Chains A and B, each alone.
Chain A
Amino acid sequence: MHRDNLERGILELREQIVGMSGSVVEAMRESMRVLRSRDADAAGKLVEADESINTVRYDIEEKCLTLIATQQPVAGDLRSLFSILEIATEVERIGDYAKGIARISIAMGEKPLARNMVTIPIAAEKVCLMLEDAMKAFVASSAEAAREVAARDSEIDQLNDKIQRVILTFVMEDHRTIAEALHLTWVSHNIERAGDRIVNICERIAFTETGEFREFD
């Protein structure tokens, strides 16, 4: 049956997306560990590891193009491939945010943090869980589940607001922490952007099912 190649190809790509997301979640969690431990070596390894995530993304893009060129997918198959292309890009960007946090950690030096910022790892973990649940929605092809995951982004936004306020207070209390504060602002910003990317992923999952381009609020 001539659909075999197309169906097998799409299935493989879906598995690759899930695997790639797993690596990105791991990278995000590792970025929180290096931020806490101030381990520059581990941070350097995390920066390097991002390369393999990028490689997977390009592999996914190439396979999508080959399937589009050789199998002429339409309707649900075409929406699925189009979404896979988009989702691969979004997941790869979230990987970049984890890499960014590792770089910030290196730039901050090996000195322990002046303040213990518990909210940052909490926000990062929420983002990791969101991405994991987004992948569950992707595997289940559930627009409804995707919408529920996307709704959780408002929590991330609120946590980011809170983190920014706390950082501002630190700086007001002790001006010597300005450098660290600026770095942590960027870390929090990266986490907040990762949440936005997950919303984009959820929109694509819903689009694959419904055929409607719609932004989740």
Chain B
Amino acid sequence: MPEPRMRTIDYCLYYGGFRALNSISMDIPPNMITAIIGPSGCGKSTFLRSFNRMNELIPGVRVTGKVLLDGEDIFSLDVVSLRRKVGMVFQRPNPFPKSIFDNVAYGPRIHGLRKGDSLAALVERSLKAAALWDEVKDDLQKSALSLSGGQQQRLCIARALAVEPEVILMDEPASALDPIATLKIEELLQTLKENYTIVIVTHNMQQAARVSDFTAFLLMDESRAGNLVEFGPTKQIFTTPRDSRTEDYISGRFG
């Protein structure tokens, strides 16, 4: 396996006195799609948010252990620059109530453009990478809220891409979309992984099986803390899981 893009080592997360994640050590391979699956409440979204310190916004959160990005401790990085490198797309499309163009231009306007790059070129490139350009190129000044749900979600992906991140975290990015829009997002993920590292949380196990290269299965223990039960190539997890709890979960025996 190549050097991981991100890595957690003995990572624990507490909400006040409650331990939500228990000593998770896991590698996120570069230019791959890593899916995190598990029953509701097992901490998969909390774990995903750990990769760009989104949990810090929640009062009472405390973490131990390490999270590394390209070998560097993310807690020693400036949080703004960390979130530029590790972007996020949420379950419900959440475009700003602005034009399509301004949505995508928002990040670069804050973070600044690369030398020699024009804002218009960057917006076009990001919309193309998010497979939305052809549908909106003539209406860039139209409100983002006039787009369909699937288009809005691709716009949010374009917005995340515009700051040129290394890693994109996706929390159930297709669960609010219809099957066709879902398929478009899934196809998009396959092209995005050539340039980005993707971590996706999904409830939909078939989706994890369809799109991801690696799968992590999280499950809560008796104290309701999320534990990493099994991590491996998706093919292996879905055909020959090593842990019987993984088998029981993916076969629908619980969860």
Contacts and interface: CB of A to CB of B under 8 A. Distances in A.
A77 B239 contact: no
Contacts of B252: 2-3, 6
Interface size class of A (residues with CB under 8 A): 10 to 19
A212 B236 CA distance: 11
A3 B251 CA distance: 8
Interface in B217-247: 238-241, 246-247
Interface residues of B, number: 13
Interface in A165-217: 211-212
B217 to A, nearest CB: 11
A79 B240 contact: yes
Chain B interface mostly:
helix
Contacts of B238: 74-75, 78
Given A3-B252, A3-B253, A75 B206 contact: no
A211 B238 CA distance: 11
Q: Which of B206, B209, B239, B251 has the most chain A CB atoms inside 10 A of its CB?
A: B251
A86 to B, nearest CB: 15
A72 interface: yes
A112 interface: no
Nearest to A210: B240
B250 A75 contact: yes
Nearest to B237: A75
Interface string A29-50: 0000000000000000000000
Nearest to A2: B252
A76 B239 CA distance: 7
A74 B205 contact: yes
A75 B246 CA distance: 9
A210 to B, nearest CB: 8
B43 to A, nearest CB: 23
Contacts of B250: 74-75
A22 interface: no
A6 B252 CA distance: 10
A76 B253 contact: no
A73 interface: yes
B247 A76 contact: yes
Nearest to A76: B247
Contact of B247 (A2, A6, A75): A75
A72 B206 contact: yes
A3 B248 CA distance: 11
Contacts of A74: 205, 209, 238-239, 250-251
A76 B251 CA distance: 8
Contacts of A2: 252
A139 B253 CA distance: 22
Q: Which of B239, B241, B246, B247 has the most chain A CB atoms inside 10 A of its CB?
A: B239
Interface in A62-88: 72-79
A191 to B, nearest CB: 35
Contacts of B247: 75-76
A3 B255 CA distance: 12
What are the 5 closest A-B residue pairs judged by CB atoms, nearest first? A211-B240, A75-B247, A74-B238, A74-B250, A3-B252
Interface of A: 2-3, 6, 72-79, 211-212
8 contacts: A3-B251, A73-B251, A74-B205, A75-B239, A75-B246, A75-B251, A78-B238, A78-B239
Given A74-B238, A74-B250, 20 more contacts: A2-B252, A3-B251, A3-B252, A3-B253, A6-B252, A73-B251, A74-B205, A74-B209, A74-B251, A75-B239, A75-B240, A75-B241, A75-B247, A76-B247, A76-B251, A77-B251, A79-B239, A79-B240, A211-B239, A211-B240
